[in-house]
């Protein structure tokens, strides 16, 4: 078997799916502009202290370059009204419509041609100029103290660090969802969410790469890593999540409705990551270990910032069983292990380039690969694991 150059090969492929920093900066400019609009004196939401926050892959720094040129990016945002909206005085429907008034006025003021679209939990704007975005804006309010304490206790019971659990729980919010049984009724029962808390938890996993982050701080001349937006951290965990999502996208390109969802891949990868500075070693660790964090009983893939929530809850539904969601996750993970191992062990630049295109939609320059193949080797040999009950404390930071 040829000596593996796993790190250099995987790094070369990762570079091809990375979006430029300018795309993150454009996204940041968009949501800051929206935040300024909501915060102006004559906005409908201004009396309630509105705060626009990024969530999802843009917040985590795990966005991939679109498979197809000209494709639209998904920019997920929270619109949190910090004060004045209570469940005793507002229904979810009324609250969502309030936020919708300012979303619509923003659309008109910025000359966005596409009509605002209502989704189950959010308002969507299609913002297209030099870059095209779906801006999904989720209305939310801070959750009450009792619910926050329940989340904190659940995280502590699941093994989280006390300070992290406290910080995360304080960021718990209630969101609107038109599928909720009390959507049109005054009720204390709203759906919980915590995108800010999840980002903090994900960052706590990235912080395990201490040496790498110290180097990044020096490169960017910052006093602490918190001074850098997450997309500039560029840790192996972020790169691995990007690569795994892209592999998933290619494998299920013809039928994306049955593919493993991104939040499951991201969560399991973060649980398995142990702070490796080397990208090849990180990918090996993640592919070897992520399946062990799928529990045998519900919740199958607990939300680390709300352990009672199951990211894999659709696996057990009638539709989920029909679409074989659990089987597809297992099949994808097995295929990812096999494909990354095959690519990382090859010494044939033409073969690697062909496999990168076929398995990851990545066009890697063969001359670049030839250079990487002469670099020091990193052994990449993920072992096979079956799905089993997760360790006792899978969410410990």
Does residue 385 sit in helix, strand or coil?
coil
* 134, two tokens: 């779906």
Residue 344: the pLDDT is 82
Which segment of 39-53, 70-84, 222-236, 307-321 scores lowest on mean pLDDT?
222-236
pLDDT tens digit sequence for 248-261: 999 999 999 999 99
* pLDDT, the chain, mean: 87
Examine the pLDDT at 146 and tell me if it is beyond 70: yes
Residue 287: the pLDDT is 97
Model-level pTM? 0.88
Say how many Å lie between the first and final Cα of the chain, rounded. 37
pLDDT tens digit sequence for 270-324: 999 999 988 989 999 999 999 999 999 999 999 999 998 999 999 999 999 999 9
Residue 225: the pLDDT is 56
Residue 381: the pLDDT is 46
Report whether 227 contacts 212 (CB < 8 A). Answer: no
Find the DSSP H helices in the chain. 6-17, 21-39, 57-60, 92-109, 145-157, 162-169, 195-206, 210-220, 236-251, 262-272, 279-289, 318-322, 325-345, 349-360, 366-373
């Amino acid at each position: 078997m040829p000596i593996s150059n796993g790190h250099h090969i995987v790094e070369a492929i990762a570079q091809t799916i990375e979006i430029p920093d300018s795309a993150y900066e454009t996204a940041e400019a968009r949501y800051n502009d929206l935040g300024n609009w909501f915060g102006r004196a004559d906005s409908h939401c201004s009396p309630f202290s509105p705060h626009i926050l990024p969530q999802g892959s843009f917040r985590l720094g795990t966005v991939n370059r679109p498979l197809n040129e000209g494709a639209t990016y998904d920019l997920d945002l929270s619109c949190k009204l910090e004060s004045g909206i209570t469940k005793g005085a507002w229904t979810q429907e009324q609250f969502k419509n309030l936020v919708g008034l300012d979303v619509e006025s923003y659309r008109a003021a910025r000359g966005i041609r596409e009509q605002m679209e209502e989704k189950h939990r959010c308002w969507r704007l299609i913002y297209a100029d030099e870059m095209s975005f779906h801006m999904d804006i989720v209305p939310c309010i801070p959750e009450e103290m009792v619910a926050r304490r329940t989340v904190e206790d659940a995280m502590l019971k699941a093994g989280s660090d006390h300070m992290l659990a406290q910080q995360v729980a304080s960021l718990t919010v209630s969101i609107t969802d038109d599928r909720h049984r009390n959507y049109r009724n005054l009720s204390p029962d709203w759906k919980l969410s915590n995108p800010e808390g999840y980002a903090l938890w994900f960052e706590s996993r990235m912080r395990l790469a201490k040496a790498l982050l110290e180097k990044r701080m020096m490169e960017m001349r910052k006093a602490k890593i918190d001074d850098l937006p997450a997309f500039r951290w560029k840790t192996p965990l972020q790169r691995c999540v990007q690569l795994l999502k892209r592999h998933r996208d290619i494998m299920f390109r013809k039928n994306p409705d049955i593919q493993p969802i991104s939040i499951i891949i991201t969560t399991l990868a973060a649980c398995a990551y142990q702070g490796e500075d080397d990208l090849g070693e990180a990918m090996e660790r993640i592919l070897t270990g992520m399946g062990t964090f799928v529990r045998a009983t519900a919740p199958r893939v607990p939300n680390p910032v709300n352990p009672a929530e199951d990211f894999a809850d659709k696996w057990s539904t009638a539709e989920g069983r029909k679409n074989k969601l659990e089987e597809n996750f297992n099949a994808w993970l097995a295929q990812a292990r096999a494909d990354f191992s095959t690519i990382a062990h090859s010494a044939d630049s033409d073969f690697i380039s062909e496999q990168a295109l076929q398995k990851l939609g990545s066009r890697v320059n063969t001359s670049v690969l030839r250079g990487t193949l002469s670099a020091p080797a990193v052994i990449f040999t993920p072992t096979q694991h079956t799905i089993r009950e997760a360790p006792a404390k899978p969410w410990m930071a």
